[in-house]
Amino acid sequence: MASSQILKFEVENTPDVLRRERLRILKKIAKKTIKITKEIEKRAKCFETSGTQSFNALHLACAEMETDILFTVDRRFLKKAKEVKDLKIKVRNPLEGIEEVYNGKNN
């Protein structure tokens, strides 16, 4: 499991104190923090031109550099990410991901 600088920023700026603490606990599980590089910024700009919001574009670009799948509970982000044509990773709701693993699906 990986985290990123953009995720850290969002967690620390979450206004709901209880939610922020829960997110901090999840973030501690991450084995690696992905740093935002020029390459990631460039890739994020590509996602932005296809209509993805800037923070979400950075999440996608960071995930592409280090992971095979990005989990999100943000329905709008999930829908938009699934529309990205040249995305090199899967984007799933955590429950979808668990179901895929449990049922042995690879799509």
46 pLDDT band, cuts 50/70/90, is: very high
Could you report the per-residue pLDDT of 57-86, keeping only the tens digit for each? 999 999 999 888 888 888 999 999 988 888
Residue with tokens 């206004």: 15
Strands 90-92 and 69-71, bridge-based pairing? parallel
Residue with tokens 């939610």: 19
pLDDT score, position 56? 93
Number of domain units in the chain: 1
* Residue from 93, 40, 28 nearest 66 by CA: 40
105 pLDDT band, cuts 50/70/90, is: low
Rounded to the nearest angstrom, the gap between the alpha carbon of residue 11 and the centroid of all alpha carbons in its chain is 13
Could you report the per-residue pLDDT of 5-17, keeping only the tens digit for each? 887 887 888 888 8
Phi, psi of 4 (to 5 degrees): -150, 165
Domain that holds residue 43: 2-103
33 pLDDT band, cuts 50/70/90, is: confident
pLDDT score, position 6? 81
The structure tokens listed for 84 are: 């990205």
Give the pTM.
0.78
Q: What is the mean pLDDT of residues 38-57?
A: 93
Distance CA 50, CA 31 (A): 31
pLDDT at 107 over 70: no
CATH number of the domain encompassing residue 42: 3.40.50
